[in-house]
Amino acid sequence: MSLNSSIKSLSSTQSQFIIRKSTMITKNSKDISAVYQIEKGKLGSGSYGVVHLGRHKITGQERAIKTIPRSKIKNFERFRTEVKILQTLDHPNVIKMYEYFEDDENVYLVMEICTGGELFERVIEQEYFSEQYAAHVFRQILEAINYCHHMKICHRDLKPENFIFETKDSGSDLKVIDFGLSKICEGTHTKGVLSRMKTRAGTPYYISPEVLTGSYDQSCDMWSAGCILYILLCGYPPFYGDDDQEILRAVMRGEYEYEGEEWVEVSDAAKDLISNLICKPERRLSAEEALKHPWIKAFSKPGVQAKKLNKINIEALKKFQHHQKLKQAALTAIAVHLSPKDVIHLKEVFRSLDHNKDGCLNLEELKDGISDMRNSEELIELLSAADTDKNGTINYTGKEEITIYIEKVHRSHD
């Protein structure tokens, strides 16, 4: 059964708006190469496949083309749901899909192109950071969640990496992406009468306790939003640990605090909003309610003068973002079947290339050293992630972190 016919067979309880919108985005029966000129360079990659820049051969419009090998679609039903959801959503803070193609080898999703980078990447580029900017960004996150929930969509994997800016302009829209774990819910969006979900989905730092216990509704997205805001304001997560299991135990305890130098300049109103998001479901604000919170209303207004937050907040966020990037790169390495033997070889390459024993390695030499390994292209991306100051070298800490992360991920997936 084709993806298009599978999607058409899905029952829909959505509004007339959704039905009209989804009929506009259908499978293009042509060969994708007849419609788009696909550039060789990658915009991104992951365990799912790769994203290339594509130019429409008639209009010249640029699109991001996500190429997903059929062999990597392990759960076709989940994938069909993601495409169905992308078909139905149309909002300035939600990634847009224009059309999709299929052939015997791949499925191609043609998406709007976003070049502004991830949420936290934009924040750490700032010379200074204020609550006004945080509120401006967080309002867009709430707008996206509010829209999705009204359309009966629960995202289930909200995290900073899944929010990207459309362009590098300072006024660019922030967009939520990656609906791979999302769910179309029955019932209404009104708090208290939502259909319950049972499948465990999400990312440890942002997952809610009720998702872990296996009975939850759309309000799980609001817990995740609260965790994002917490990190946005102080630079580290409310729940942490040395590994995923420790983080999840901390989530289940649900205890967090506003102590430390990072919180000195943060307003009580911001803390109040967080406390009404990272809380028990019966107390948790909906996205619609959160948009009316005094902190959002006061700080997201144009022209509001807000006190700069401590520089250490940005430094803490840089450190957190760096570790997250390495972890994601390690996950990608595992996804492309990097074996324990490959990790040993990688360590040997590190040792052999550190000629003067100063702990720093030249990135170009490293690339040459691993060129004969399987999946060397993905490994080069992993190594580049460790070059945090982009000076072409990786220091001792960086190379140790790479192997530590890969080994940790191996253990957690055994």
Which of the residues are catalytic?
Answer: 157
Distance between CA atoms of residues 316 and 329, nearest Å: 20
161 phi and psi angles, rounded to 5 deg = -65, -20
Cα–Cα separations (whole angstroms), residue 320 to 133, 296, 315, 326, 409: 19, 25, 9, 10, 18
Distance between CA atoms of residues 162 and 179, nearest Å: 9
96 is in an annotated binding site: no
Question: Which runs of consecutive H residues, i.e. helices, occur in 192-276?
Answer: 209-213, 220-234, 244-253, 268-275
305: alpha, beta or left? (left if phi > 0; alpha if psi -120 to 50): beta
Strand partners, 164: 118, 175
Cβ(363)–Cβ(383) below 8 Å:
yes
Distance between CA atoms of residues 52 and 63, nearest Å: 8
Amino acid 125 reads E
Cα–Cα separations (whole angstroms), residue 82 to 70, 72, 182, 357: 15, 15, 7, 49
117 phi and psi angles, rounded to 5 deg = 85, 170
Distance between CA atoms of residues 203 and 324, nearest Å: 12
Strands, E, within 230-367: which ranges? 361-362
Cβ(137)–Cβ(232) below 8 Å:
yes
* Residue whose token pair is 């224009």: 98
Cβ(372)–Cβ(290) below 8 Å:
no
Cβ(88)–Cβ(76) below 8 Å:
no
Amino acid 92 reads P
Distance between CA atoms of residues 366 and 393, nearest Å: 9
Strand partners, 36: 56
Binding site listing: 66
Binding site listing for ATP: 66
